[in-house]
Amino acid sequence: MITLNTPAPARRDTTPPPVPWRRLTWVSWRQYRMSAAGAAAFLGVLALYLLIMGLRIRGAYAAVADCSLSAPGKRCVGAFLLFDNDYFLIAETSAAVLLAVPALAGVFAGAPILARELDSGTFRFAWTQGAGRTRPTLARLALPALTLTAAAAAFSQLFGWFFYPFFAGREFAQASAFAPIYFTLTGIAFAAWTLTAFAIGALAGVLIRRAVPAMAAALAAWSGLLLATLLFLRRHYEAPLTTRTGQTSPSSWVISNWWTGPNGHRVTSENQIIAILNGGPHPGYTQWTIYQPATRYWHFQLIEGGWLLALSLLLIAATIWMVRRRAA
């Protein structure tokens, strides 16, 4: 009796191919296109306002920019004072409004992006469509993160152009690019703070799993981080300089001032300080100033942008890790 050994039929691989990144990005765009349209409309109106007012401010500044050279004296000082009275408050208000953009990005773009699905339970459907957890989460986060960062970078350039007349390094300059709010809005810092706000919001949404509480937590966390940076961290990026003349560039960041008397001790009497400042007799008194020179502006921008970028990537990685660890 002859036995024929026939090979068993090969099993077909029934595992579906991974969903392409293009489709994942398209789904993310379809879900949040209305929010993106609203954000684009708001930023468009803000950009148009900065452009129109910037042209007016720069036009008015051009009329007095050469005043100190062509007509020095009280007439020149008066021209600059009129320019500041007309436009400086408008420029400061615009800066305060623009500073709210990163916070809004974290609250309305970052926090709900995953929290809504976790709260409603629709994440269970998304995780069973052959894409797993990591790739859809990364697709959801990457597109808005890159878009917001690019938009913030463009706005920082627009704001720098808009605010330039007040940064002018002359004796009548009213603002320094090192001032806390202006430093945050210019260079690469504004884009870095916007990305950080989005990353904080996304992590808060995964941790809290409810949109509204996550939005509140994201706003509080980002505001606390910004406040700590402005008050404590930023000034220590590099050791400040000390001068005994009290004379610094208008663009420098003056951290503190004090006086010492003939005996070398610090003057603490308010009456003595007032007398010195009013031009009274002060032989042997010396003014000391601790400051960051204007030449360190880009060095500080790179430091702040670097650690904020690292923090953002860490928060996004933590968000993806939390999604992978969450029970379905």
Check residue 169 and give its pLDDT: 46
The structure tokens listed for 157 are 């350039």
Residues 46 and 170 in one domain: yes
Which residues share a beta bridge with 8?
Answer: none
Check residue 25 and give its pLDDT: 63
Residues of the chain with pLDDT under 50: 169-171
Cβ density class 205-232: b for 16+ within 10 Å, e for less: bbebbbbebbbebbbebbeebbeebeee
Residues 274 and 147 in one domain: no
Residues 286 and 307 in one domain: no
Residue 25 lies in a domain: no
Residues 137 and 275 in one domain: no
Check residue 124 and give its pLDDT: 60
| 167-218: pLDDT as tens digits | 764 445 556 788 888 899 998 999 999 999 999 999 999 999 888 999 999 9
- CB atoms under 10 Å from CB of 34, counted, come to 9
Check residue 111 and give its pLDDT: 87
Residues 77 and 129 in one domain: yes
- Closest C-alpha to 259, from 281, 244, 249: 244
Q: Give the torsion through C-alpha atoms of 90, 96, 98, 103, to 10 deg.
A: -160
How many structural domains comprise the chain? 2
Residue 17 lies in a domain: no
Residue 61 lies in a domain: yes
Residues 303 and 157 in one domain: yes
Residues 184 and 232 in one domain: yes
- Closest C-alpha to 157, from 116, 185, 179, 126: 185
Distance CA 275, CA 49 (A): 46
Residue 9 lies in a domain: no
The DSSP call for residue 229 is: I
Residues 222 and 277 in one domain: no
Residues 279 and 303 in one domain: no
Q: For residue 179, with 0-12 CB atoms within 10 Å meaning exposed, 13-18 middle and 19 or more buried, which class applies?
A: middle
Residues 188 and 146 in one domain: yes
- CB atoms under 10 Å from CB of 267, counted, come to 17
Distance CA 60, CA 150 (A): 30
Residues 264 and 157 in one domain: no
Distance CA 197, CA 184 (A): 13
The structure tokens listed for 271 are 């009456």
Q: End-to-end distance of the chain based on CA atoms, in angstroms?
A: 57
Q: Give the torsion through C-alpha atoms of 279, 280, 281, 282, to 10 deg.
A: -70
Residue 2 lies in a domain: no
Residue 153 lies in a domain: yes
Q: What backbone torsions phi and psi does residue 290 show, to the nearest 5 degrees?
A: -105, 130
Residues 143 and 268 in one domain: no
Residue 8 lies in a domain: no
What domain range includes position 268?
253-292
Measuring CA to CA, how many Å separate 16 from each of 28, 48, 68? 21, 48, 74
Q: What is the pTM of this model?
A: 0.82
Residue 98 lies in a domain: yes
